[in-house]
Chains A and B, each alone.
Chain A
Amino acid sequence: MTVARFPEAAALQELFGEQVLSMRTGSDEHLYLVTGGPDIRGIVEHLRRDHGARIVTVFAEDRRSEDGAFFNYYVFEQFGNPQYLILCAPVHPENPEFPSLSAEIPAVNWQEREMQDWFGLKAVGHPNPRRVAMHDNWPDVHPLLKDFPLRTPLPRFEGERHIYRPAMGEGVLQVPVGPVHAGIIEPGHFSFAVAGEPILYLQLRMFYTHKGTEKLFENLPVHKAVFLAESISGDSSFSHGTAFCQAIERASDIDVPRSALLTRTIFLELERIYNHVADIGAIATDVGFVVANAHASRLREMLFTLNEHLSGSRLLRGVVCVGGVRRAWQSGQQNMLRNAVDAFESEFDDLVALIYSSDSTRDRLEHTGILRPEKAKDLGIVGVGGRASGIDLDVRRDHPYAAYDQFAFRVPVYQAGDVWHRMQVRIDEVKESVGILKSATEQNLYGTHCAVPRPIPPDRCAISSVEGWRGEIIHWVRTGPGNRLERCKVKDPSLNNWPALVEAVQGNIIADFPVINKSFNLSYSGTDR
């Protein structure tokens, strides 16, 4: 990997003058670049064009009472550079506006609109500045403002929830689906415009499960907030829990013991494979191959049982904590893990062989729901969906955490971007994860499982990232006094990836929508928070 560096402050000051105020190193994980005002378009353009930087996430913070301004944060990463660069742009409360980047960088579309909804900041020049996080019937409130209490009672639902763009033309029909779906899945509304069978255009309405999570983080002591992090997206409990704990550990300089880092790695991989196996089965079901799903769900159950034997929780909840993990390895558990991984590996090979042996399954999945690499890049797609469309990102490799620097693994990347390859990425990743788990069980897992707890220093910021099974999970925190948080920004990979679904379904028949949707399998709760 080539060693990439972000430009020095002096070089940027030469280019942008007073707009670049200062640069400081937050920690090994991140650099801060403070700008003179909200207009950062030139710097962003420079970073992207001349330094190959990718925008990871955009969010805001209400610092009016401390610093007299809002702050917008723009997080960048560079291929081959483990450090994030965070642009920190003050927005004056007298003129609560910032220039939108969405026209140039569609990846930040929803995130900029969240900043409008939650902070009342205006994204000037946004091509579609409508509400996103709060439905159209919400009163004019901005919940992440510091002077908005968490339990503010709001009037009950009334009026229009969301106005969709009409689909017009001879033979064009609009098919509304949701928010309550036919299967056992989460709520969201899809409005399809179809001409005959093919889908012309899909409009999404999300945030039905918006639970005020980011506001709630500011109202809980840190040790309870760990449980909130686990509830951001239930199928990623351990990944989100770990991302959160890592952020707190970095903010408070807590050294996590070696054994705990290994344990986290093991559980992160177990979470990845139980979800991947379930998705492989679900994709098979959606094209009528239910036998494969019966085996896949049996394998998932095997892993759930293993999780429970190792941690006490089938979904690996209540395991991670600030400083490490809650429990040390007991005698016999390491052997149990080793045997279970071996048994799983051979069963998984059988499952894959079964799926490969079905030509009709392959026929249905190939060339279905194509997301082209250039679209994926524009939309900032991450994770499984990105890697199937040529986006070579994996936080485990790019920003190593837990014990990933001790393991060799391959990051599968394909260019075809269809459902088959999204399944193939999962199959490859399960095999890599099995490899990681096998070499982890060769190591000595015993030892201190948690650092000694200590008070969390106030007003420290930290960023943390985890490659959840869906992709890049980001948590950014600012600590407050009394073991509490001033702000916790959470970005689930689903938030970037929903627009990918809109692209991928175009031109496909509506009957293939379920399998295309499943091939991304995004988290509604992770998106909506």
Chain B
Amino acid sequence: MFKIIQQTVRTGIVTTTYPATPADVPAFFRGKPVFDFERWQDARPAGEVCPTQAISVLDNGDQRTVTVDYGRCVFCGLCAEAGPDQAVRVTRDFELATHKRDYLVVTADYQLNPDGTHGELLGVSTREDDVETAGRTTQTAIHKLLGRSLAIRQVDAGSCNGCELEIVALNNPIYDIERFGIHFVASPRHADMLLVTGPVTRNMELALLKTFRATPDPKVVVAVGACGISGGIFGESYASLGGVEKVLPVDVYIPGCPPRPQALLHGILLAVGRLAEK
């Protein structure tokens, strides 16, 4: 017993102060890729290398629409290495969770040159700006109901278990999610939130639905990771239905492959309207 206490004292406090202070992420960490649409001469090389079609290129006559979907992105960074124009840059930004699926999508329209490169940039449409206003009214209500103590039931609807590793890490002494009064529970009947990883497989669809029905109202559903949001690399097939929203109404989306523990924490706090607290 003495040894156990001695070791604990020697270790000291290891818990991070995130989100009160910014996360200390390593220099090489691959977070959100950002796009310099003005500078981008050709989106095709990036579109070709992207493993999950997070970057898609659609030509229509002499115009091109480039769509970037952070809900599909696995943060591999291949797009930043493709093509000579260096218009794509990988940043260390990981706080990407949002309330609406379309907030994760950015589209850019170009006039097309005869050789297939981009001419004039006609416009960039992003709905990121709406996040604050659209979310606020429901946010207050959710915060009132679930903003203090929160019970989470995690459901693996078909994931590769990468997301589970990072969700488990939320319980370790470093991220220690219980410091927010948030804890993982063993039954959906005790839960306020379903934290769902996926793609939702055909074989898990019913179990996911039953879990949702067993969770008392009010409840929130959070879709985790590229697969949970869009089906990720597995997409839609005979065995996979795609993202969680194919089966359940989703309140918050947390991109990543898998999202790092801070990103999960950010998304969970966003879902219950507690981000402002920091």
Query: With A314-B260, A350-B7 known to touch, is A228 a contact of B233 (CB < 8 Å)?
Result: yes
Q: Which residues of A contact B108 (CB under 8 A)?
A: none
Contact with B along A180-217 (1 / 0, CB 8 A): 10111111000000000000000000011111110110
Pair B14/A231 contact, Cβ less than 8 Å: no
Q: Which residues of B contact A254 (CB under 8 A)?
A: none
Pair A209/B156 contact, Cβ less than 8 Å: yes
Check B230 for interface membership: any CB of A closer than 8 A.
no
A227's nearest neighbour on chain B, judged by CB, is B51
Check B163 for interface membership: any CB of A closer than 8 A.
yes
Bound-state CA distance A298–B174 (Å) is 7
Pair B29/A312 contact, Cβ less than 8 Å: yes
Name which of B78, B238, B240 has the most chain A CB atoms within 10 A of its CB: B238
Nearest chain B CB to A97 CB, angstrom units:
25
Stretch of A17-25, A151-159, A388-396, A417-425 lying at the B interface: A151-159
Check A510 for interface membership: any CB of B closer than 8 A.
no
Stretch of B37-45, B62-70, B139-147, B199-207 lying at the A interface: B199-207
- Could you say which of B156, B166, B201 contacts A314, with CB atoms under 8 Å apart? B166
Q: Which residues of B contact A357 (CB under 8 A)?
A: 3-4
Q: Which residues of B contact A41 (CB under 8 A)?
A: none
- Could you say which of A154, A227, A232, A525 contacts B202, with CB atoms under 8 Å apart? A154
Pair A211/B199 contact, Cβ less than 8 Å: yes
B153's nearest neighbour on chain A, judged by CB, is A180
Check B122 for interface membership: any CB of A closer than 8 A.
no
Pair A318/B74 contact, Cβ less than 8 Å: yes
B214's nearest neighbour on chain A, judged by CB, is A180
Stretch of B129-137, B182-190, B265-273 lying at the A interface: B182-190
Bound-state CA distance A350–B8 (Å) is 11
Nearest chain B CB to A209 CB, angstrom units:
5
Nearest chain A CB to B263 CB, angstrom units:
11
Pair A317/B76 contact, Cβ less than 8 Å: yes
Contact with B along A288-327 (1 / 0, CB 8 A): 0001001101101100110011111111011000000000
Check B167 for interface membership: any CB of A closer than 8 A.
yes
Nearest chain A CB to B245 CB, angstrom units:
16
Pair B172/A209 contact, Cβ less than 8 Å: no
Bound-state CA distance A317–B276 (Å) is 32
Nearest chain B CB to A514 CB, angstrom units:
12
Check A42 for interface membership: any CB of B closer than 8 A.
no
Bound-state CA distance A312–B90 (Å) is 11
- Could you say which of B11, B232, B238 contacts A298, with CB atoms under 8 Å apart? B11
Pair B26/A184 contact, Cβ less than 8 Å: no
Pair A234/B162 contact, Cβ less than 8 Å: yes
A152's nearest neighbour on chain B, judged by CB, is B238
A237's nearest neighbour on chain B, judged by CB, is B162
Pair B3/A354 contact, Cβ less than 8 Å: yes
Bound-state CA distance A215–B14 (Å) is 44
Pair B204/A187 contact, Cβ less than 8 Å: yes
Query: With A234-B164, A234-B165, A309-B26 known to touch, is A150 a contact of B258 (CB < 8 Å)?
Result: no
- Could you say which of A180, A231, A305, A315 contacts B234, with CB atoms under 8 Å apart? A231
Check B49 for interface membership: any CB of A closer than 8 A.
yes
Q: Which residues of A contact B240 (CB under 8 A)?
A: 211-212
Q: Which residues of A contact B188 (CB under 8 A)?
A: 180
Pair A208/B211 contact, Cβ less than 8 Å: no
- Could you say which of A141, A232, A294, A318 contacts B238, with CB atoms under 8 Å apart? A141
Nearest chain A CB to B157 CB, angstrom units:
8
A234's nearest neighbour on chain B, judged by CB, is B162
Nearest chain A CB to B136 CB, angstrom units:
31
Known: A232-B160, A314-B260. 17 other contacts (CB 8 A): A154-B238, A156-B205, A157-B202, A187-B207, A207-B203, A208-B203, A209-B156, A209-B158, A223-B51, A231-B233, A233-B161, A234-B162, A298-B174, A310-B28, A312-B77, A313-B30, A318-B30
Cβ-closest 9 pairs across A and B:
A234-B162, A182-B186, A212-B239, A297-B172, A312-B28, A318-B76, A227-B51, A224-B51, A234-B160
Contact residues of B with A, CB < 8 Å?
3-4, 7-8, 11, 14, 25-30, 49, 51-52, 74-78, 154-169, 171-174, 184, 186-188, 199, 201-207, 211, 227, 232-234, 236-240, 257-258, 260
